[in-house]
Structure 1
Amino acid sequence: MPEPDLSRIDPATKFPRAIAAMQNPAFLKTPRYQEQQQRANREGAHPRLLEFTDKMVKRCAMLQIPVFPHCIVRTREDQASAYVRGVSNDSPDDGLWPHRFAAVDIIHCQYAWMDKIPHAWDVMGHIGKQVAISMGLKVVWGGDWSRFHDPAHWELAGWKQMDPSTFLRDVER
């Protein structure tokens, strides 16, 4: 499927055009879409984060936008690799990284980080914030960060003060 050229769009139509560029209702019916939903390690994740993840995926599907949770829980080794590669600012050395139990990266099933679709992340940010509000959940969106812009990233607000031992079981610490 060729990526649409949205370089000259009217600001009044930027969200509808971004949504149209992200939509693929046929893909939502494929086995690949279903497989992608099971890709991320969920074991040990905070239950409210998992609920947020599932609701965001469903809300996007209602808009015919196929997305999936790319990363939820990372082991210490996974986090070390992400840190070395520069895709995370959190060293695993202190035992504190949000993908230990309190974060999710949600990306498009076909375009991944959607770099060529203007305003796609603005749409995703809006959707995620609306889902969180509907749940009464406080989240932090990486798309609002200025120092390390990460629009696929969502984390529970205040995760550093949470006691993960209340729901972490088999995740390597």
Structure 2
Amino acid sequence: MTYRLSQRSRDRMKGVHPDLVAVVERAIQITGIDFTITEGLRTPARQKELVKAGASRTQNSRHLTGHAVDIAAWVDGTVRWDWPLYPKIAAAFKQAAKELNTPIIWGGDWPRLRDGPHFELDRKAYP
């Protein structure tokens, strides 16, 4: 089955780097699990709120510069947070990034504080 991004997901990517948007667009075409964009570009105030709430540990988030997006698995019309869904979605993101020659980092690969919904452009290529 081929999925497509909703207008709400597209709106949430406003201000996100075009190379990352292209990866998201390709990933939705090849994923086996539908997903929605929950957040893209953040304001410093929003980032501060997330740190205070414990949802983020840094004030230096890639979201602040439009170099990151967060997604949620969308299954049968419902957001799902089950961990086994996210590596499957990540595989589509990684394949899309490879096809587009756009290096990305998946938060699920981090050794500490794994973040399955998080994808960002690699700082080495996108400082």
Q: Unaligned 5+ residue runs, structure 2?
A: none
1:102–1:155: 8 Å Cα contact kept in structure 2?
yes
Deviation, structure 1 residue 50 = 1.3
Work out whether 1:88 is the aligned partner of 2:56.
yes
Work out whether 1:112 is the aligned partner of 2:53.
no
Do the aligned partners of residues 111 and 146 (structure 1) sit closer, same or farther apart at CA in structure 2, a change above 3 Å counting?
farther
Deviations 1:128-154 (A, max 9, x none): 111111111111100011211101100
Q: Which amino acid aligns with 1:120?
A: L
Q: Which amino acid aligns with 1:36?
A: R
Work out whether 1:122 is the aligned partner of 2:87.
yes
TM-score of the superposition, structure 2-length normalised? 0.81
Aligned length: 124
TM-score of the superposition, structure 1-length normalised? 0.62
Identify which of 47, 54, 69 aligns with 2:18. Answer: 47
CA distance in 2, matches of 1:86, 1:52: 28
SS of 1:140 mapped into structure 2? strand
Work out whether 1:157 is the aligned partner of 2:122.
yes
CA distance in 1, matches of 2:14, 2:97: 19
CA distance in 1, matches of 2:95, 2:72: 17
Deviation, structure 1 residue 99 = 0.3
- Greater strand content: 2
Q: CA RMSD in A?
A: 2.5
Identify which of 28, 37, 44 aligns with 2:9. Answer: 37
1:113–1:152: 8 Å Cα contact kept in structure 2?
no
CA distance in 2, matches of 1:119, 1:50: 24
Identical aligned residues as a percent: 23
Q: Unaligned 5+ residue runs, structure 1?
A: 1-22, 163-173
SS of 1:38 mapped into structure 2? helix
Q: Which amino acid aligns with 2:9?
A: Q
